[in-house]
Amino acid sequence: QVQLVESGGGVVQPGRSLRLSCAASGFTFNIYGMHWVRQAPGRGLEWVAVILYDGSNKYYADSVQGRFTISRDNSKNTLYLQMNSLRVEDTAVYYCAKDRSSSYSYGMDVWGQGTTVTVS
């Protein structure tokens, strides 16, 4: 079945870096756009970034632009989120999610279970 499994979360000090991974299975990874979405404790959902099916284009939320980098390795069916210059306000559960299109045109249809990042 379609599955997304995030990893790489943990506790990190402000200003440090962390890289999240999302392993995909059960679908043809290299034809779909992929997203990262986060949720701070007790708060709503916040979209973070999207990468097109071939990695050719990437889009970011203003709150992470210049600090976070989304990437993918289609040979490994894996999505990444490199997070630099982390701030306390980046503390959240980070979800990876698959789009129904090759970009972001149809929104997220499958979500991972999330990985927790704590900046403290």
Partner 1 sequence: DILMTQSPSSLSASVGDRVTITCRASQGIRTDLGWYQQKPGKAPKRLIFAASTLVSGVPSRFSGSGSGTEFTLTINSLQPEDFATYYCLQHYISPLTFGQGTRVEIK
Q: Which residues bind partner 1 (CB under 8 A)?
A: 35, 37, 44-47, 50, 59-62, 95, 99-100, 104-109, 111-114
Task: Return the number of the residue (43 or 75) whose C-beta is nearest partner 1.
Answer: 43
Task: Return the number of the residue (29 or 60) whose C-beta is nearest partner 1.
Answer: 60
Phi, psi of 64, rounded to the nearest 5 degrees: -120, -10
To partner 1, the closest distance from the beta carbon of 118 in angstroms equals 16
Say which amino acid occupies 74.
N
Task: Return the number of the residue (19 or 100) whose C-beta is nearest partner 1.
Answer: 100
To partner 1, the closest distance from the beta carbon of 13 in angstroms equals 26
Alpha-carbon torsion angle 15, 92, 103, 71, nearest 10: 40
**CA distances (Å), origin 2, targets 32, 43, 50:** 13, 27, 19
To partner 1, the closest distance from the beta carbon of 45 in angstroms equals 5
Task: Return the number of the residue (62 or 120) whose C-beta is nearest partner 1.
Answer: 62
Helix residue ranges per DSSP H, 4-93: none
To partner 1, the closest distance from the beta carbon of 75 in angstroms equals 26
